[in-house]
Amino acid sequence: MSLDHIKLSQTGKDQLVRLKRVTGIKHWNVLCRWALMFSLQDTSTPLVREIITDSNVTMDWKTFAGSEYGDVYLALVKARCLQDGEEPTDEAVSRTLTIHLHRGIGYLAGRQDLDSVHDLIMTVAA
C-alpha cells in the first residue's frame, strides 16, 4: 500500500458514479477529497479495517490532493493515525487514507437528501 497510487474498491467506484450524477461534480478526485474530509470529521474509528481495492479507478497522490493542499491532506491523515492510536508510518497513513476515503464515500452515497453541490457543502459543513 502506498500514497503514490490511491485505488478504490468497486463499491466505492459505484458510489462515486452515483455521486457524480447527483452533484454534477465531474472529477473523482474532487468527490474523494470531500469524502475524506467528511469521514475525518467523524471522531469514531471506522469499523471496516480492510478494503479490497478491486476497481479500475486509480489516482496518484498529486491528482487526489492537488498541488496546493497535498501537505494539508497528508497532515490531516497523519493526525488521524495518531488520534486512532497508530504510529503514522507510510503503511498506516495509506491504510488510514483508504479506510476513511471509503467510509466517507459510503456516508455521502447513503444520503438521500444529497441532490446538488449545495447539498454536499451543507452536509459536510454541518
CA dist., res. 81 & res. 106, Å (int): 20
pLDDT > 50? residue 1: no
pLDDT > 50? residue 90: yes
DSSP, res 5 = E
pTM: 0.89
Q: Which range has the worst mean pLDDT, 21-25, 65-69, 96-100, 118-122?
A: 118-122
pLDDT of amino acid 29: 93
Specify whether the backbone of 60 is left (phi greater than 0), alpha (psi in -120 to 50) or beta.
Answer: beta
**Residue 92: pLDDT band by 50, 70, 90 thresholds?**
very high
pLDDT > 70? residue 76: yes
CATH of 5-125, one of 1.10.3470, 1.10.1220, 1.10.357, 1.10.3210: 1.10.1220
DSSP, res 3 = S
**Residue 50: pLDDT band by 50, 70, 90 thresholds?**
confident
